[in-house]
Amino acid sequence: MEFIQTLAALAVTLGVLITFHEYGHYWVARRCGVKVLRFSVGFGRPLLRWHNKEGTEFVLAAIPLGGYVKMLDEREGDVPPELAEQSFNRKTVGQRFAIVAAGPLANFLLAIFAYWLVFVIGTQVVAPIIGQVEENSPAAVAGLQAGDELLSIDGRATPGWQAVGLALLSRMGESRHLAIEVRDEFGQQRQLTLELDRFLAGQTDPDPFTSLGIRPWRPEVQPILATIQSGGAAAQAGLRPGDRILQVNQQPISSWAELVDWLQGHPETALTLKLERDGFEQERRIIPAARTLETGQQVGFIGAGVEMPSWPEERLREQRFGPFEASWRAVQKTGEMSQLTLVSIGKMISGLISPTNLSGPITIARVANDSVKSGWESFITFLAYVSISLAILNLLPIPVLDGGHLLFYAIEAVRGKPVSEQAQAVATRFGLAILGSLMLMAFYFDLLRLG
């Protein structure tokens, strides 16, 4: 079932993004008088097909990893004389430029609309309050303390932890001073300077918070069981949802973290639990099962889930704006995410960011599925970011991508004549090699993450 949900999330995500992208090409092409022969979402065997009154064939194909708009073009086959003026190649360089640029532009517009929707409806974010600062860490040296709320980073407001993470990730690979504004538990604001030294450079799975030595504040999780796995050690010991664990081997337990430490540290070892159930105390003997981690370490587990606490209202921040302010904020957010994507690509090329951060369809599918589970706002936000990434990827000056075609048209506009077909053919083969290599790398790193 999980696999089917993941595939469904991938199909919906890519289907929406591809449809918007290709519709951008289609809409501008029709406005420029170009006859569109086929509008396809997906590749491979058609699942659905129909025609409109202009004769365009619309296709929904089986493999949702791309799409295309096929236009009438004299370079690709014979064109009846009466339709020659509707050929793509007969249009001015400006019209061809607009048709090709319309696909990425549609993805940017989709991202703006998605962010606008989130801002108008409103969401709650967790206030970025620090729960713990490690000794001698960069955060400790800068003067950050437990209980501080991060207000801004380099002048960029940080209302929630996602905003903090994005602000920090935008500095990956850099060595510089980072201006931070914080507010302590008593309402006093301070200006601090955090020193970065090749921040997160070359890391396979970058974690900006751990690298700085900070842990976000979280409500304390009580050792109260919420779910019991059938056939697990907890079920065999007679544990039930609602049980509060008081002691393990006569040692007091005050939090879920303490209980997990005990269980993980004693695989296949008999433990005596004292618990509270319906106001009465009782004891249970339990033997945690063993599980081997990727590191080779063996840990214990009992097949039980915890009852998660609710967040205090004072630790939540409401984000909701009127339609006009939301419009500006959506444009601003799209610009920020576009800049982050472009800067990340540049840092990856220069070696400051590990290429293992490349993501392919497997990672997109997993993140899409997780975002669906987290709520509609998480999925819409994820959709917006992937739409931006798709737009920027297509605008890269690589032949076979939209950006490669735009480069040819820009050269044509300067020279006054098109780039020769031979030169375009050579560049296209080169572009296919680059694109194929990137796709293989992304797929390979996807498999590594899956493992």
Sheet holding 271-277, edge to edge: 251-252, 244-248, 271-277, 280-286
> What's the CA gap between 216 and 252, in Å, rounded?
26
Q: 336 with 422: CB under 8 angstroms?
A: no
Domain at 225-306: CATH architecture:
Roll (2.30)
Active site residue 22: yes
Whole-prediction pTM value?
Answer: 0.80
Using alpha carbons only, give the angle 342, 347, 350 rounded to the nearest 5 degrees. 130
Tens of pLDDT, residue by residue, the chain (451 residues): 566 777 777 778 888 999 999 999 999 999 999 999 999 998 888 889 999 998 899 999 888 778 899 999 988 888 888 888 999 999 999 999 999 999 999 999 999 999 999 999 988 888 999 999 999 999 999 999 999 999 999 988 899 888 898 888 888 888 889 999 999 988 899 999 999 888 877 776 678 888 899 999 888 888 999 889 888 899 999 999 999 999 999 999 988 888 988 899 999 999 999 999 998 999 999 999 988 865 677 888 899 988 778 888 888 888 889 999 999 999 999 999 999 888 888 888 777 777 766 676 666 667 666 776 667 788 899 899 999 999 999 999 888 889 999 999 999 999 888 888 888 888 888 888 887 787 787 777 767 666 5
Pick the CATH number of 126-219+315-319 from 1.10.287.370, 3.90.1150.10, 3.40.50.720, 2.30.42.10: 2.30.42.10
State both tokens at 45: 């065997």
For 62-81, write each residue's pLDDT tens digit.
887 788 999 999 888 888 88
Regarding beta strands 280-286 and 271-277, do their DSSP bridges make them parallel or antiparallel, or are they unpaired?
Answer: antiparallel
Catalytic pick from 2, 22, 276, 294? 22
User: Which DSSP letter does residue 396 get?
Assistant: S
- pLDDT for 4 equals 74
State both tokens at 356: 């293992």
Q: 114 with 380: CB under 8 angstroms?
A: yes
Q: Give start-end residues of each CATH 2.30.42.10 domain in the chain.
A: 126-219+315-319, 225-306
Radius of gyration over every alpha carbon of the chain, rounded to an integer in angstroms: 28
Tell me the CB-side half-sphere exposure of residue 273, using CA atoms within 13 A: 27
Local structure of 290: helix, strand or coil? strand
Q: 147 with 130: CB under 8 angstroms?
A: yes
Residue length of the chain: 451
